Chains A and B, each alone.
Chain A
């Protein structure tokens, strides 16, 4: 279980997070929605310690993440970055197998490669892709390689930053199903950021909406449509007029 309490983060005068309270229960799929630039990516990075919050407390299973042993802590996580963040000096399969080939549980090369190819298949990429370099792939393909890398070591907690952005509708469906499967079958805890409401409905157990540096609404996905929060309603129906300003 991940718990955030009163987490705040500013970049200069830009107060991005202003006291976020959020609980992500173990084994559940939490989807974070919210306007562009509201700090969703910063939120994920704060949990991982890639961004240091100015104040507030983040705990994993009750222990403060800042006091955790970094290696042991990070070994429990997988992360898909919004921009893919593939290592462009390494081949696709070496990207996917990066964690498998390092550290205490290091696998032999051919075994790591076989797992990488299997993960690539799960995100809809052919084995031939394995020997290409990231620069030779399309944007959507890079995204899926990033996804394969995030799930390769079968971590217990996985963060997906916009997993279906830039994918065609069919591929989006494949990825949504994959994320759902990872949560239900492997028991992983997932936290996904998305702008795509059909993804929200396909992936989420719970939904949280980030607005103006705070969690505006959070609850089970089934309650989302009945909720009477005008911000949430404007967002999920994509209306131009409402309480959320269109210039942000």
Chain B
């Protein structure tokens, strides 16, 4: 079926959807610019920032660790099985390391943060909006952008790279455990192969991705919360849209970053 055969109404709604998506991206970009503008101007709410550090960083550790260890283990099994087909099963340590550090670590941590942190930020701020707490902040001469958005976004930007670093290490450890316990790799040489193979740019790219994903995840949560509709339904759709948008933007940003940093 050619595109011309599509009914006009379907085309129109496709056009409208595209237009709406572009408009949303524009509004999010403006919101991001505003956030950056406020980050560098006082006052800075330290207590809110430390709470956000706990929420975004520390309390996400279990989820990140579990995700990474299972993924690292599965990755080792797949590479071993795949490598066997052309007698290249010895490359498991190298490929696990590069796969975890360059791609899977940042992406999985980013998505877990979108699920855990973006949703809770969006729901919390949307509830505050719906119950007029945001209006109350304003009347108490406190800028909601500075009080709510800046601490969370800054915490995301600073802690998610650390989470990604932890995720990378635990992921490699997952691969190591499976390889040495189940696939018969030698421990010392597995570690040596991993360490020799990984280069500084691999690690740096991983952390840069983490910072960008942390920024996206927290910013999108705040944006949808602040722009929530009215009532319980408003909170529900703000949360849903925040998680969906954050996940897609993280994956898109990952592609762009990978192309920029590794695409020759």
Contact = CB atoms under 8 A, between A and B. Distances in A.
Interface of A: 45, 48, 50, 71, 74-75, 77-79, 81-83, 85-88, 98-99, 102-103, 149
Contacts of A79: 136, 139
A99 B138 contact: no
A106 to B, nearest CB: 10
Interface string B131-162: 11101111111100000000000000000000
B131 A102 contact: no
Contacts of B133: 85-88
Q: Top 6 closest A-B pairs, CB basis? A: A85-B132, A85-B136, A79-B139, A74-B141, A50-B135, A99-B140
Given A85-B132, A87-B133, A48 B139 contact: yes
Interface in B102-141: 128, 131-133, 135-141
A77 B136 contact: no
Among A75, A83, A85, A149, the one with the most B-chain Cβ atoms within 10 Å of its Cβ is: A85
B43 interface: yes
Most chain A CB within a 10 A radius of its CB, from B128, B133, B140, B142: B140
B138 A74 contact: yes
Contacts of B141: 71, 74-75, 99, 102-103
The DSSP consensus for interface residues of chain A is: loop
Give the interface size bracket for B toward A: 10 to 19
Contacts of B142: 98, 102
B202 to A, nearest CB: 40
Interface in B5-62: 43
Nearest to B127: A88
Nearest to A74: B141
Contacts of B132: 81-83, 85
Contacts of A81: 132, 135-136
Contacts of A149: 140
A9 B232 CA distance: 25
A144 B160 CA distance: 41
B232 to A, nearest CB: 14
A45 B139 CA distance: 10
Given A87-B128, A102-B140, 7 more contacts: A48-B139, A79-B136, A81-B136, A85-B133, A85-B136, A87-B133, A88-B133
A79 B139 CA distance: 7
Contacts of A102: 43, 140-142
A87 B139 contact: no
Contacts of A45: 135
Most chain A CB within 10 A, of B43, B131, B139, is at B139
A165 to B, nearest CB: 15
22 contacts: A45-B135, A48-B138, A48-B139, A50-B138, A50-B139, A71-B141, A74-B138, A74-B140, A77-B139, A79-B139, A81-B135, A82-B132, A85-B131, A85-B133, A85-B135, A86-B133, A98-B142, A99-B141, A102-B140, A102-B141, A102-B142, A103-B141
Contacts of A48: 138-139
Contact of B136 (A71, A75, A87): A87
A27 to B, nearest CB: 21
Contacts of A71: 141
Nearest to B136: A85
Contacts of A77: 139
A86 B128 CA distance: 9
A96 B230 CA distance: 26
B140 A98 contact: yes
Contacts of B139: 48, 50, 74, 77-79
Contacts of A75: 141
A172 to B, nearest CB: 22
A47 to B, nearest CB: 11
A68 to B, nearest CB: 13
B144 to A, nearest CB: 11
Contacts of A98: 140, 142
Contacts of A87: 128, 133, 136-137
A98 B140 CA distance: 7
A243 B8 CA distance: 51
